[in-house]
Amino acid sequence: MQINSQDMIPWADETITITSVRVSGNVSVTLNNAATYRSGKGELRASGGVYQSNDVKFKFAQTDVPFEPKPGDQITWKGNTYTLFGPLAVGGSDFLNFWSCMGRNLVLANDLYDTCDVLRPDATTDAGGKRTPNFSTVYTGVPCRLQEEENTVGADDQGGLTARRRFTAYVGQRLYLRAGDVLRVTQAGTTTPLLYDFSGSASFDRIDYLGEVTVYRTAGQG
């Protein structure tokens, strides 16, 4: 015997889309009778309140979803995407016919209010040997946040001093980057983007962390 407990909850009227993330191709289902519970905000690491958890618990009927949710799956609710993570990522009851999933919005949790575009060069050389980068845009409007890691000063080719700054850009989506790529970042509250040279990346295959992109900017760069 199975009881559909979700039918007994008057506030189970939220619309969500749950996506099963698969190598063979994602599968998504939209529900109109889910219950949502905000679990409260907590500081993820010492940051003066900048990095907060913003976790949400979602409950919905097992019979409404043709797959079993798992950590790494995603739920979209009110325009935000939450990734299922942690030891309480998926629970529920077969008898009461519900799944209980804990999701974290990594974009909100990490305060990703800047945006970036990724520019990729396809250089050509003219008869005189002059190279033209011919940048094309491969990603547009990616939510991100720049965090400065290091600022070094050294001598340039003319003997003058120049500053070279290293940043980590935390980004809100999976990026496939190549040597020579450039990040064009527009910080929140500004309208003039700045260019940063791509150096490396990390954490893109972790479900509980944002992707990290290491970039550099030299004084006087566009």
Local confidence pLDDT in tens for the 222 residues of the chain: 556 666 666 667 899 999 998 878 899 999 999 999 887 655 554 545 555 557 899 999 999 999 999 988 999 999 888 888 877 789 998 888 999 999 888 776 667 889 999 999 987 877 777 778 789 999 999 989 888 888 887 766 666 677 889 999 999 888 899 999 999 999 888 889 999 999 999 888 776 677 899 999 987 555
Please tell me what DSSP assigns to residue 5.
G
Query: Can you tell me the distance from the alpha carbon of 180 to that of 187, in angstroms, rounded to the nearest whole number?
Result: 22
Beta bridge partners of 60: 99
Reported pTM: 0.60
Intra-chain end-to-end CA distance of the chain, in Å: 67
144 Cβ contact list (under 8 Å, min separation 6): 112, 114, 115, 116, 169, 170, 171, 172, 183, 185
Cβ-in-10-Å burial (0-12, 13-18, 19+) of 71 comes to middle
C-alpha distances in Å from residue 200, one per residue of 6, 183, 190: 46, 12, 26
Residue-range domains of the chain with CATH: 5-107 (2.40.10), 114-218 (2.40.10)
